[in-house]
Amino acid sequence: MKVIAIANHKGGVGKTTTAVNLAASLAEKGNEVLVIDFDPQGNATSHLGFSPNDFETTINDVLIDPSNRVDINSVIIEHSTPGLFLIPANLSMSRADLSMSALIEKDHRLRKSIKRLRKNFDFVLIDCPPSLATLSVNAFFAADDVIIVVQTQPMALDAIRMIDETLFEVYSSRPDFPIVPYGLPTMHDKLTTVSSTVLEAINRKFHPNVFSPIHSNVKIREASGYGKHIVEYDPLCAGAMDYRRLAKEVMAIYEREKEEGRRYIIRNS
């Protein structure tokens, strides 16, 4: 099982879109995939066609219960797409950072809960909120790898330094298993020079851990509004092709890891 956090504390860059559509594309290729909505906005929950407020128990209850009585397995819901599962979130999570602050090992709550999953998923994708507070730190401690989603827009790389610093703090306390951060350029518009210049900068920054870009695509935007992932909304559109290619690239990393062992790359720049 590979646990991947999808993060950037900059808002609106395509984290949720990536969590949902990468999950659907991995499921399409025969994987069992769990999306953990880890954002009080509940956007991954609604993007997958559910209404966040319909859920009385969410990942929040698992996190903040000091006696660990709320079982993570009890909050998993099944999507109509074969192989696709979700742990929902809603606004009840807004105070999770505060509620967890009094708990022992507050940064490790998610990691420990994931260890209790009974089903052996191939991939667990965590849709992080746009912040670097306790929730994202929990996701980083739980993750094998982190995908940093970067929109190919001016100033996009300015935010990365702070993620680097946070990840480095996480590495420092678990040097036995450092996270490898991967860059994913999103909403790329290849017709504009500025987008191409930023893409080059992202490639330089993350080299060699950078995925092919997800292009700006109107179908991707429409699909989220309709509560559908892109494979069910328009499986042949360019956006669906981009996410399929990403799923292939993600799977290739772990296939290579099985053969050659894990690559340990630590960046702090």
Ligand X SMILES: Nc1ncnc2c1ncn2[C@@H]1O[C@H](COP(=O)(O)OP(=O)(O)OP(=O)(O)O)[C@@H](O)[C@H]1O
Q: Can residue 43 be called a binding residue for Mg ion (CB under 5 A)?
A: yes
Site for ligand X in 178-207 (CB under 6 A): 186-187
Q: Which amino acid would we find at residue 243?
A: Y
The CB-of-226 to ligand X minimum distance in angstroms stands at: 11
Q: Can residue 150 be called a binding residue for ligand X (CB under 6 A)?
A: no
Q: Can residue 43 be called a binding residue for ligand X (CB under 6 A)?
A: yes
Q: How many residues bind Mg ion (CB under 5 A)?
A: 3
- Exactly one of 62, 125, 216, 250 binds ligand X (CB under 6 A); that residue is 216
- Exactly one of 3, 4, 5, 13 binds ligand X (CB under 6 A); that residue is 13
152 binds, among Mg ion, ligand X, none (CB under 5 to 8 A by kind): none
Question: Closest residue (Cβ) to Mg ion?
Answer: 16
Q: Can residue 16 be called a binding residue for Mg ion (CB under 5 A)?
A: yes
What residues line the site for Mg ion (CB under 5 A)?
A: 15-16, 43
What residues line the site for ligand X (CB under 6 A)?
A: 11-17, 39, 41, 43, 130, 186-187, 214, 216-217, 220-221, 224, 239
